Amino acid sequence: MSGNAAVWGRVRGRLRAFPERLAACGAEAAAYGRCVQASTAPGGRLTKDLCVQEFEALRSCFAAVGGRRPALGR
């Protein structure tokens, strides 16, 4: 059970840090959101790696704000 508590502790820590990271990375988050929105609009087609440049920019910004690479999956 202690391993499970450690996992939830890390998850809670990431969730607490998210508002600060999002506020600091607003431009990158907006660019990623626009890319996803455009590709899911009528006639658009969201495919794997379509918005990878925007996602990586957001991921890098989150890592810079947090001081380490965040555990964001692809």
Q: Is residue 11 included in any domain, yes or no? A: no
- For residue 4, being part of any structural domain is answered with no
Joined together, the tokens standing for residue 46 give: 């969201």
What type of residue sits at position 34?
Answer: R
Which two tokens mark 73?
A: 């999956």
Q: What is the pTM of this model?
A: 0.70
Rounded Cα distance, 11 and 3, in Å: 13
> Is 51 inside a domain boundary?
yes
Query: For residue 74, what pLDDT is reported?
Result: 43
Give domain status of residue 61, yes or no: yes
**What's the structural domain count of the chain?**
1
How confident is the model over 1-21, as a mean pLDDT? 81
34-51 pLDDT per residue, tens: 999 998 888 878 888 999
Closest among 29, 20, 21, 30 to 58, alpha carbons compared: 29
Q: Is residue 17 part of a domain?
A: no
Helices (H) and strands (E) in the chain, counts: 3, 0
pLDDT-above-70 percentage for the chain: 86
Give the structural domain span for 49: 25-67
